[in-house]
Amino acid sequence: MDSENFKQHLKKYLSNENIDKLITSLNDKQKYSCIIIDEEKIDKETIKKIYPTLIEHPFVKNAFLYDKELELGKSLLFEIGAFYILEPCSILVSHFLNPQKDDLILDIAAAPGGKSIHTSFLMKNKGQIISNEISSSRVEILSSNVEKYGRKNISVISTDTKTLKNQFPNTFTKIILDAPCSGSGMFRKDINMKEDWTYNKVLSCATLQKELIIDAYSLLAEGGEMIYSTCSYSYEEDEEVVQYLLNNTDAILLDIPSFNGEYRSSLNKTVHLLPFLYQGEGHYIAKIKKPNTLKKINFPQNKNKYNLDGEIFINNKNELFLTNLLLSFKNIRVLRNGIKIGTIDKKLGLIYDHAYARFLQNNLSKVDLSKEETINFIYGLTLNKTIPDGYVNLTYLNIPFALGKVSKNQIKNHYPKGLRKKLLHY
């Protein structure tokens, strides 16, 4: 990285004193990460009893900071989808988006899925989220994470914004555009981002971001709201991109509510998160509205033939999905439309999928396991239980996490072999 060039370009909005503070903070290691709990699966009191060192976030609902030495990514509760791990700055995107249960939301560059999943938690699996990722490799990671957390209200697709805006102009009530960027906000987390940084990269990203924000705005419904964010400290990728949208459309800039640790530049309705002020890596957030009155989205209210709330989708592989609102995608790769219930076999009927076992409202018989039994099952072992034969949904602390098939008082292990592991701690 060209350090002098980096410092010089920050002078567009930072004083020399704050530039020095930022540079110094980039040499410190980030101590904390953050979890967002799915309150439908676990409550705040339970999670605090299990992990008493958690620090409740001062204003983001169901968010907790924790010391990275706790290694919650290797824990049982993380494995079964009780919480998602996010960088502390990233949690503010969904928080300030303020999603509602009747929203139709587009997350444009969604991988690996944290903002979509956090948004889904806030909506309690209601409404509909279209999580898009143009990268063919990253969209697979996105889809896997959506499956892990049992999200009925998320469809995962892979396409570009030009295709989306041709099919869905003025459609989405809310949009997240966490734009691809030069990544200076990730210098502490990824040394490669620091070594790869150049001012030309900033300018190249800014050009792309201006295209994306215009496309995103065209997808936003009248009266709808959009969050634009980056993990870049560059004014060129942040304020200048937002100002470009304001100059070329009828977009209205909304004020991000004030909070401790924010930094505001001349475009003072938007915020920077800088590591010497806010406990996190680095982020920029702006909130935008399209004028006029928002029209309500009508979601189907009746139960389907499987006695479940929502719409059923069967793809060309006879895979059965359940979601809240089906959109018609043309020439767009669709990886999943909500929860995959299973596959329809001509001889055997419906064969349930592991993903359905992660869905809280599934209609399978439940068997709650002890901590030891749960750890052993995830490792791949068979369990002995005196219960009736047939398929069961295994739970821990009443959190559904796996399918099992009971035969002669044994629960045969149907945990996917690629996911089996020996968990290191609770």
The arithmetic mean of pLDDT across residues 358-377, rounded, is 94
pLDDT of residue 305: 85
What CA–CA distance (Å, rounded) separates 234 from 185?
A: 9
Residue 102 confidence (pLDDT): 97
Whether the predicted pLDDT of 112 surpasses 90: yes
C-alpha 24/C-alpha 207 separation (Å) is: 29
Task: Tell me the pTM.
Answer: 0.96
Residue 290: closest CA among 243, 246, 256: 246
Q: What is the tens place of the pLDDT at every residue in 329-351?
A: 999 999 999 999 999 999 999 99
Which residues make beta-bridge pairs with 369? 396
CA-wise closest residue to 320 among 350, 359, 299:
350
Res 299: pLDDT: 94
Quick check: 54 and 77 in contact, CB under 8 A?
no
What's the pLDDT tens digit per position in 402-412? 999 999 999 99
Of 241, 289, 242, 285, which Cα lies nearest the Cα of 263? Answer: 285
Q: What percent of the chain has pLDDT over 90?
A: 92
The CA radius of gyration of the chain, in Å to the nearest whole number, is 23
Average pLDDT, integer, range 96-109: 98
Could you report the per-residue pLDDT of 189-216, keeping only the tens digit for each?
Answer: 888 888 889 999 999 999 999 999 999 9
Query: Which band of pLDDT confidence, cut at 50, 70 and 90, is reported for residue 424?
Result: low
- With 80 as the cut, is the pLDDT of residue 231 above it? yes
Is residue 89 annotated as part of the catalytic site, yes or no?
no
One DSSP character per residue, 106-155 reads EETT-TT-HHHHHHHHHHTT-SEEEEE---TTHHHHHHHHHHHTT-TTEE
Decide: helix, strand or coil at residue 333.
strand
- For 324-418, list the strands marked E by DSSP: 333-337, 339-345, 349-352, 366-369, 383-384, 390-396, 399-407, 410-413
Which pLDDT belongs to residue 192?
Answer: 84
Catalytic residue among 89, 181, 205, 231: 231
Taking all residues of the chain, what is their mean pLDDT, rounded to a whole number? 95
Check pLDDT > 90 for residue 295.
yes
Q: Please enumerate in sequence order all residues whose Cβ is within 8 A of that of 403, keeping only pairs 6 or more positions apart, or say none.
A: 352, 354, 356, 357, 364, 391, 392, 393, 394, 414, 415
- Structure confidence at residue 194 (pLDDT): 85
A 10 A CB-CB count for 355 gives 27
Q: What is the mean pLDDT of residues 15-26?
A: 95
Give the C-alpha separation, 133 to 135, whole Å.
Answer: 6
Q: Is 272 exposed, middle or buried (CB count within 10 Å of its CB: 0-12, 13-18, 19+)? A: buried
Q: In the prediction, which pLDDT does 425 show?
A: 63
φ, ψ dihedrals at 402, nearest 5°:
-160, 160
The rounded percent of the chain whose pLDDT value lies above 70 is 99
Task: Sketch out the chain's domains with CATH numbers.
Answer: 3-289 (3.40.50.150), 364-426 (2.30.130.60)
pLDDT tens profile 267-290: 999 999 999 999 999 999 999 999
pLDDT of residue 423: 80
For 237-264, the pLDDT digits (tens) are: 999 999 999 999 999 999 999 999 999 9
